[in-house]
A and B are shown apart, each in its own frame.
Chain A
Amino acid sequence: MKDVPAMEFDPDLTISNTRRQFLTSAASGLGGLALAAALDGDGLLSANSASGASVGVNPLAPRAPHFAPRAKNCIFIFMEGAPSQADLFDPKPKLNELNGQKLPDSLVKNVRFAFLKKDTATILGTKRKFSKHGQCGMELSELIPHLGSVADDLLLVRSMHTDQFNHHPGQLLMQCGRASFGLPCMGSWLTYGLGSESQNLPGYIVLTAGRGSSGGASLWQSGFLPSVYSGVLFRNSGETVLNLQNPAGLPSPLQRKGLDVLAQVNRQRLEQMHDPEIANRIASYELAFRMQSAAPELIDLSGETQATQDLYGVDRKEPDLKAHRGGGPGQFRSFATNCLLARRMVERGVRFVNIIHASWDHHSNLDTELPFNSEMADQPIAALIKDLKQRGLLDETLVVWASEFGRTPLGENRGGSESVTGRDHHPYAFSIFMAGGGVRGGQVYGETDEIGWAPVKDPVHVNDFQATLLHLFGIDHLRLTHRFQGRDFRLTDVAGEVVEPWKL
């Protein structure tokens, strides 16, 4: 490195400093005005920034919420495809009693199904044993024993319901608050509202494992919000972020030198044009440079003790399942690694981590594939909760398990088939759980009827869940809005009520 001059770049020219510089620069005179245009009285970006009023302000600068938050970070584990609540979370003894019986016509008359044939469909019991866990006595299926060991930290919601029963629309509703395209996802709204606490990493990171999901990239889009609020896809091996590595044969010292020259020439242009966007560009290149070391460091697990890795089950033996869904080599390692990475991201200030795992759409082979998936997910998620707790991070980190909808208590008899090995889409009731982040653990919220068809107590719509999630972050879901095409949009569309009993 001796032949390359030492770093010339002014380390103070980080994003926030660039911003400060501009806001306080007497010459530019931008200061108060740009700040006022970007922040409204609540400390959040105002609704009129659609017109681009936030000139010269770092859009990811941390911002104060509406009121004191309980959660600062979220790890949202999205199980795409709809895991069967009747086999995991919501024990229904009646289901086994009625196994093989038809539902009365009056009950299914007006109900739509994706594949199931109403006239011959019969109730499908579960082979799973449920037992009580923790002090709270939460009943969970034998498929998720490790989650049972953290039952006292879990808020289990059995009365979720949604409006959509096709996957992609359902996923859009869960992620964006409404089954429409062009809307920001939950993670986008959170980073839009609160900014990012991380200096070296994006505020909203997506980790996927297994096969692709129905929604693809639309599940981490920023919609009408600027793309700076989009989820950034990280991989858990190889190149962490797209284009992160320098070209082969271009070493870091030359990258540094190149960026110094770039910044120098760009700054000269800035002096001529006085356009704050040039300063933003200089800052973006600096953040990119920092990410080049921060992101590989993030996924390098060599600093994690063997005990920690074992806790998450990174090296567990994976059952040999050659299923057409879900299976395939390396699923267990990949999922466990993602859970461990999520903790490392939260430690580094990442606001919203979305782990997406696609393959829970068990129209058939429920009894082989659900155990495979559950085993894959059970230990790492329980470990994540324990690990966050022992590090004192759980209080401020909300962990969520959710999907787009649930599965039918009826067996799926696609095409009138008599061989029933799975369940169909069921939007009327499903289960999700949460931990940490200001929710009261050891709690089961809501009830479904005797066969788990629909909530009979405390129904919670997806928008209610979203309102509550924002609330935990100190955000009033009615006030975090963005005007687009004349309308003030929000994550909860036109609905959403905070579910008070969930809170600590």
Chain B
Amino acid sequence: MAERMLQRVVSLSRWSPLAAMVVAVYSAVALHGMVFAQRVAAAEAVDFARDVAPIFAELCYQCHGPDKQESGLRLDQRAAVFKGGDTGPLFVAGSSKTSELVHRVSAADDERMPPPGPTSKALSAEQVARIAAWIDAGAPWPESVAGSSHWSFQPVARPEPPAVKDGGWARTPIDRFVLAPLEARGVAPSPEADRYTLIKRLSYDLIGLPPTLAEVDAFVGDIAPDAYERLVDRLLDSPHFGERWGRHWLDMARYADSDGYEKDNARPDAWRYRDWVIDAVNSDLPLDRFTIEQLAGDLVDGATPLTRLATAFHRQTLTNTEGGADQEQFRVEAIFDRVATTGSVWLGLTVGCAQCHTHKYDPISHEEYYRLFAFFNNADETDGDAPLAGEALVKWDAERAAAERKLRELTPKLEKTRAELAAGVPEWESELKGSGSAPLQFHPVELVAVESSAGAEFKQFSDGSYLVTGKTPEVDKYTITARSDLAEVTGFRIEVLAHPSLGGHGPGRTEHGNFVLSEFRAFAAPTREFKDDHRVKIAAAEADFSQGGFPPANAFDGKEPTGWAVGSQEGRDHAIVLMAKEPIRGEQTPWLQLVLSQNHGLKHTLGRFRVSAVTGRDPLFGLPKNVRDILAIKPEMRTAEQTIVLVDYRVSQDKQSRELADDIQKQRERLAARPEMRVRVLAERNDKRRASHILHRGDFLQPDAEVRPGTLAALPPLQPRGEAADRLDLARWLTDPRHPLTARVTVNHLWANLFGRGIVKTPGDFGVRGERPTHPELLDWLASELVARGWSRKAMIRLIVSSAAYRQSSAVRAELVEADPLNDWLHRQNRYRVEGEIVRDLSLSVAGLLSPKIGGPSVFPPLPPGIAELSYANNFKWKTSEGEDRYRRAMYTFFKRTAPHPTLTTFDCPDANTTCLERQTSNTPLQALTTLNNDAFVDAARALARRLLAAPVKDDQERLAQGLRWCIARPPSGDELAAFAGLLADSRRWYGEHGEEVKSLVDDGPSGGAAATGAAPAEVAAWTATARIMLNLDEFLTRE
């Protein structure tokens, strides 16, 4: 405990003086439990890399490796091993009997290596024997690339496919690599799976959807020799191929729709990268280019928004926005993740292990780790523009087409009405002017009374104006009663006047002097009694000045919230003239009442004003100034532009034309919207570039020596384009055909997705501690083939699925269960449950509910209650999608890292917090409960029942067979049919007697519509209960 305690005390010592500064020493990882899969057959030659090096790495490096050389002994380098330790050489080649090494690893406790201890394990007799055999064979230590003799660091060879006896079985070179060792063991490969299984297998593997019955029957009946190849091509060309294989990649990209950590905020743009991946897979973007764009799409020649979007691969890292979090710490954490992910995905190495110290087993030094780190240290997290994609693009395209269509339809209409209005200009003009004009004149009126609705007081000046005093209410209404002896009144003028006693010198009563005249009403009556029918209609208004948004017309629009104001020109006199529609006859209605409503609030009331009556008429009153000016010009003197201004004005005054013009404007705006969105990407930092340092024990607060970007010495040298290597150089280095790892690791991923397991069973660890390939030559041949085929994903998949090895039956062979329990020999295909997304996709698909839409923003299918609430402080609301978005493929379900959809996680979908190279395939009761009872699956059962009831078949037997074939492709056996017929019969009896339950089973849920089948509800219920069990068949959920 002491060492550990002292380590801990370091963190306390910041305060506590009692703590000693002790350099922390990384203690050992547990070293036990290793069981080597590989057995050395006595007859086989000893292979140091395969048989001996792993023992050293496993059990000896801890004290005699790259970090520590106790007793001067180092076992990871050839020269050092042959030199021995402080006590002399370890062995003489060829003679294990006298070897100190063999002696020590097989000695009794007091001398034994590794020394006995709680975490220590002695070598097994078999391991000792292997070392002895190696020494006896002369201790061969193969020449290696830069010091590592490990198999995966050696250049990719292109082995010749071995000779086989049963040459007729082999369909591709792959098969000879598989068959030769099987023949050597005296084992025949499994027979080819039947046609039903083959089409189901290919459909599940390549597009993740079940084949339709028509497709099954067509394939089964297709006797042409290339039927299989055509099927493969059809599936590879399906747009769903990009979904299926894109999802494999998204596992590695740790793709999600939220930030992660405490707040776990949504990333509404994340889907755009997902769609990039789908598109790239569908268009078979070569895997080397695919790699380059994702790691350095911002740096490639001719970078485009799409190549920059690809860098979102490394924006899938988590973002910690927890209060008080040190942003530099989490910036560094994100880079750690980028380094580890890059290492796992392309190198197949546990590079992340070297974050705190030199890798225990593989040739990755602490310094080299930070050289890799340096590639990413100046890649800033930024936003970029990306063209829309998928559904959003389709939607935008459709909108644009609709807008164009609309424009084509509207434009001639408007042109027509414009032409009419243009033709009518002379008539309109003469009508305007023909009514005659007389100069406007302003006359004082005899004021009888003035009142404030809010209790303000009025002080009359000799010029007839009123100053408002007393309390200053928020809103007010002044009612002025007057008499006029004019024969004809055509309007009113209200002067609003400055005064030094007012705030800002008025004319309003606010501190700054503004006001809002929200509504002006006038009445003209024979006596002093004013009624509604005495109301004077106002036709137009003009003011000497008006504030933006407060034009004079607002003072008579009948709306209290709008009004006329003079903001920015306070402190001066202004006036508004409001002209009546019809002149007021003075003899008949000498009594006038003017109501000035000032409802804006915040004391925007008038402080000083004067009212006058208007006589005379101006036919152009109220027209915009430019229109008036043009009308003042003789028609024959007007320019074409001036005429257009007049027509424009007429259009604006004509309701029908105005609506047309507005609509056209709206369509133009729809066209103008740029089909782009902001996305999270990486961009290289140019200014204030960060220096990179080795971080002591991975602590961002403890920078050590400075390092420059670089790769691993054990691998081929980096060849930077310029002086300083950048991410593009890293990506090009990875995809150099001479790189021993990338192609091997990549074909292993492809293989794993077609066989359930890779040729190397630890896809993320091709290092010393990883599993060795079950078929090393096959792996190398495939790797070389990948390069030869231009890094084409589709070509490699086509090649692999064409092999006889792939086409084998997956039935377990009892006679081989003991000899090859995990099918390492590939003596058959493998059987495994499909991934979580596919489980749901399959059910929705056979039910006819699955939406085929590809891409677009993530969707929110129904979520059980109480799940979104699990996220931090209930900061997340799940807005359930409507319509077909409830039934999209599960890969489009919004993935919230701290509260993922339980249907996904129950079926082992990765949590997206770190890269996932290999999914678990568990088998739990929660999965059974999901496919039995979850709403989406029950909906599928209901829909499948409806689909079955609508099928043109003659009886129950045929109907049951049809349902089963939709699920499992093959015709069911008699026993299977009988079992389901029993369930159907029992269900019918039950629902015949339980009408209430019929109602809840059949009518429940959004996918109702049972009546459309024409069947009685009880019948629909019985078929629903039966269909539900079909959807739970192991064979349906299993890729065989």
- Given the interface contacts A261-B983, A264-B979, A495-B4, does A161 sit within 8 Å of B11 by beta carbon? yes
- Given the interface contacts A246-B933, A494-B29, does A163 sit within 8 Å of B15 by beta carbon? no
- CB contacts (< 8 Å) of B344 on chain A: these are 485
Once the chains are docked, how many angstroms separate the CA of A244 from the CA of B928? 10
Inter-chain contact B30/A481, CB cutoff 8 Å: yes
- Given the interface contacts A51-B771, A212-B870, A214-B872, does A244 sit within 8 Å of B929 by beta carbon? yes
Chain A CB within 8 A of B470 CB: no
Once the chains are docked, how many angstroms separate the CA of A228 from the CA of B926? 9
Once the chains are docked, how many angstroms separate the CA of A251 from the CA of B987? 10
- CB contacts (< 8 Å) of B1040 on chain A: these are 273
Smallest Cβ distance from A188 to chain B, in angstroms?
A: 12
Q: B567-575, B783-791, B844-852, B995-1003: which lies at the A interface?
A: B995-1003
Inter-chain contact A487/B350, CB cutoff 8 Å: yes
Smallest Cβ distance from A2 to chain B, in angstroms?
A: 10
- The 8 A CB mask of A267-299 against B (1 = contact, 0 = none) is 011001111111011101101100110000000
Inter-chain contact A33/B821, CB cutoff 8 Å: yes
Chain B CB within 8 A of A389 CB: no
Smallest Cβ distance from B1024 to chain A, in angstroms?
A: 8
Inter-chain contact A114/B1025, CB cutoff 8 Å: no
Most chain A Cβ neighbours within 10 Å, of B8, B864, B927, B980: B8
Inter-chain contact A428/B15, CB cutoff 8 Å: yes
Closest A residue, CB atoms, query B916: A182
* 8 A Cβ contacts from A27-63 to B: 27-30, 33-34, 37, 40, 46-48, 50-53, 55, 59
Chain A CB within 8 A of B831 CB: yes
Inter-chain contact B900/A217, CB cutoff 8 Å: yes
- CB contacts (< 8 Å) of B757 on chain A: these are 52
Smallest Cβ distance from A3 to chain B, in angstroms?
A: 4
Inter-chain contact B26/A247, CB cutoff 8 Å: no
Smallest Cβ distance from B694 to chain A, in angstroms?
A: 19
Q: A105-113, A132-140, A300-308, A376-384: which lies at the B interface?
A: A105-113
Inter-chain contact A55/B822, CB cutoff 8 Å: yes
- CB contacts (< 8 Å) of B110 on chain A: these are none
Q: Which of A166, A181, A428 makes the CB contact (< 8 A) with B325?
A: A166
Most chain B Cβ neighbours within 10 Å, of A33, A275, A287: A275
Smallest Cβ distance from A418 to chain B, in angstroms?
A: 19
Once the chains are docked, how many angstroms separate the CA of A425 from the CA of B323? 11
- The 8 A CB mask of A464-504 against B (1 = contact, 0 = none) is 10000000000010110101011111100011110000000
Once the chains are docked, how many angstroms separate the CA of A112 from the CA of B14? 10
* 8 A Cβ contacts from A189-241 to B: 202, 208, 211-218, 221, 226-228, 230, 232-233, 235, 238-239, 241
Q: Which of B33, B822, B914, B925 makes the CB contact (< 8 A) with A288?
A: B925
Chain B CB within 8 A of A407 CB: no
Chain B CB within 8 A of A329 CB: no
Inter-chain contact A258/B1025, CB cutoff 8 Å: yes
- The 8 A CB mask of B790-817 against A (1 = contact, 0 = none) is 0000000000000000000011111101
Smallest Cβ distance from A124 to chain B, in angstroms?
A: 17
Most chain B Cβ neighbours within 10 Å, of A53, A114, A276, A284: A284
Smallest Cβ distance from B120 to chain A, in angstroms?
A: 10
- Given the interface contacts A40-B33, A242-B902, A250-B1025, does A216 sit within 8 Å of B15 by beta carbon? no
Once the chains are docked, how many angstroms separate the CA of A428 from the CA of B767? 38
Closest A residue, CB atoms, query B27: A494
- Given the interface contacts A251-B994, A258-B1028, A273-B831, does A486 sit within 8 Å of B976 by beta carbon? no
Inter-chain contact B322/A486, CB cutoff 8 Å: no
Inter-chain contact A273/B35, CB cutoff 8 Å: no
Smallest Cβ distance from B847 to chain A, in angstroms?
A: 14
Once the chains are docked, how many angstroms separate the CA of A427 from the CA of B8? 12
Once the chains are docked, how many angstroms separate the CA of A55 from the CA of B824? 13
Inter-chain contact B986/A3, CB cutoff 8 Å: yes
Once the chains are docked, how many angstroms separate the CA of A496 from the CA of B925? 34
Inter-chain contact B997/A249, CB cutoff 8 Å: yes
Q: B244-252, B758-766, B877-885: which lies at the A interface?
A: B758-766
* 8 A Cβ contacts from B273-324 to A: 318, 320, 322-324
Once the chains are docked, how many angstroms separate the CA of A167 from the CA of B321? 11
Inter-chain contact A30/B324, CB cutoff 8 Å: no
Inter-chain contact A46/B33, CB cutoff 8 Å: yes
Inter-chain contact B821/A284, CB cutoff 8 Å: no
Chain B CB within 8 A of A437 CB: no
Chain A CB within 8 A of B1013 CB: no
User: Chain B interface mostly helix, strand, loop or mixed?
Assistant: loop
- Given the interface contacts A216-B899, A284-B924, does A243 sit within 8 Å of B1001 by beta carbon? no
Inter-chain contact B30/A488, CB cutoff 8 Å: yes
Q: Which of A109, A112, A265, A461 makes the CB contact (< 8 A) with B326?
A: A112
- Given the interface contacts A258-B983, A485-B764, does A216 sit within 8 Å of B897 by beta carbon? yes
Number of contact residues on B: which range applies? Answer: 35 or more
Chain B CB within 8 A of A335 CB: no
Smallest Cβ distance from B932 to chain A, in angstroms?
A: 7
Once the chains are docked, how many angstroms separate the CA of A211 from the CA of B769? 43
Inter-chain contact B765/A485, CB cutoff 8 Å: yes
Chain A CB within 8 A of B7 CB: yes
Smallest Cβ distance from A242 to chain B, in angstroms?
A: 5
Inter-chain contact B32/A47, CB cutoff 8 Å: yes
Once the chains are docked, how many angstroms separate the CA of A3 from the CA of B983? 12
Once the chains are docked, how many angstroms separate the CA of A494 from the CA of B261? 24
Closest B residue, CB atoms, query A32: B818
Q: Which of A218, A242, A269, A464 makes the CB contact (< 8 A) with B926?
A: A242
Inter-chain contact A168/B933, CB cutoff 8 Å: no
- CB contacts (< 8 Å) of A232 on chain B: these are 926
- The 8 A CB mask of B862-878 against A (1 = contact, 0 = none) is 00111001111111000
Once the chains are docked, how many angstroms separate the CA of A281 from the CA of B5? 47
- Given the interface contacts A166-B320, A261-B980, A454-B12, does A48 sit within 8 Å of B33 by beta carbon? yes
Once the chains are docked, how many angstroms separate the CA of A412 from the CA of B876? 28
Inter-chain contact B1032/A262, CB cutoff 8 Å: yes
Chain B CB within 8 A of A456 CB: yes
Inter-chain contact B914/A182, CB cutoff 8 Å: yes
- CB contacts (< 8 Å) of B35 on chain A: these are 40, 46-48
Q: Which of B12, B323, B906, B938 makes the CB contact (< 8 A) with A115?
A: B323
Q: Which of B33, B318, B938 makes the CB contact (< 8 A) with A488?
A: B33
Once the chains are docked, how many angstroms separate the CA of A463 from the CA of B8? 11
- Given the interface contacts A241-B929, A243-B930, A284-B924, does A3 sit within 8 Å of B989 by beta carbon? yes
Inter-chain contact A288/B831, CB cutoff 8 Å: no
Once the chains are docked, how many angstroms separate the CA of A214 from the CA of B14? 28
Residues of A within 8 A of B (CB): 3-5, 27-30, 33-34, 37, 40, 46-48, 50-53, 55, 59, 107-115, 161, 163, 165-168, 180-182, 202, 208, 211-218, 221, 226-228, 230, 232-233, 235, 238-239, 241-251, 253-255, 257-259, 261-262, 264-266, 268-269, 272-278, 280-282, 284-285, 287-288, 291-292, 358, 424-425, 427-428, 449, 453-456, 459, 461, 463-464, 476, 478-479, 481, 483, 485-490, 494-497
Residues of B within 8 A of A (CB): 1, 4-5, 7-9, 11-12, 14-16, 18, 26-35, 37, 118-119, 260-262, 264, 318, 320, 322-326, 344, 350, 353, 361-362, 757, 761-762, 764-765, 767-771, 810-815, 817-818, 821-822, 831-833, 864-866, 869-875, 897-900, 902, 905-906, 908, 911, 913-914, 920, 922-930, 932-934, 938, 941, 973, 975-976, 979-980, 982-983, 986-987, 989-990, 993-994, 996-1002, 1004, 1021, 1025, 1028-1029, 1032-1035, 1038, 1040
Closest CB pairs A-B (n = 6): A114-B324, A216-B898, A249-B1001, A47-B33, A181-B913, A486-B769
New A-B pairs, 9, CB < 8 Å, besides A40-B35, A46-B35, A182-B913: A55-B822, A166-B320, A166-B322, A181-B318, A247-B938, A265-B979, A276-B812, A288-B928, A488-B32
Q: Can you name 23 A-B residue pairings with CB atoms under 8 Å?
A: A29-B818, A55-B822, A114-B324, A166-B322, A182-B911, A202-B926, A208-B870, A211-B873, A216-B872, A243-B933, A243-B934, A254-B987, A257-B986, A262-B1032, A273-B1040, A274-B813, A274-B817, A280-B923, A287-B928, A288-B926, A288-B929, A454-B16, A463-B4
